[in-house]
Amino acid sequence: MKEYQRLSKKLLHEHGITLPESLLVSEFTQNQADSIEQLRADERSGFMLLVRSRYYKEINTRWDNTPANQMRRKIIALLHYKMNYSMAQLEAWVEKYSSVKKPFNKHSYHELVTLVSQAERVYKSYVKGINQ
């Protein structure tokens, strides 16, 4: 049970994937159960094998190649490399303008989607200001 919760949190935070527990358990037990608590110990280990095999690619993706970190790198490219923000300025910008007001590396996948859009708009405005 704890392993499933740990894996579920990792997939949600790093990849934006929500594990549909009831659907997976139902599929595994052929509609005999819909919750991990209803499984016996041996069934739980078989269930975790199913989950790990189904989400193998996401589980074993190196942390730096996760979709969330790719978005972080895009923000860094726009603000730090193209607009010459220092990393401290970038961190301050993120904490000030992000919808959740938390440090850059603490943003989840879903929060970063919005943040990338914001950074792209800021960059377009920056380029437009230079070209005038």
Mean pLDDT of 62-91: 89
**Residue (of 109, 91, 87) closest to 101 by Cα position:** 91
pLDDT value at residue 30: 87
pLDDT at 83 over 70: yes
pLDDT in tens, 17-37: 777 788 888 888 888 888 888
Helix-strand-coil split of the chain, %, nearest 5: 75, 0, 25
Percent of the chain residues topping a pLDDT of 90: 39
Least confident of 1-5, 104-108, 117-121: 1-5
Tokens of 30: 């052929």
pLDDT at 56 over 80: no
Say yes or no to pLDDT of 94 above 90: yes
Average pLDDT over residues 37-48: 85
pTM for the full predicted model: 0.56
pLDDT-based confidence at 82, cuts 50/70/90?
very high
Alpha carbon distance 63, 60 (integer Å): 9
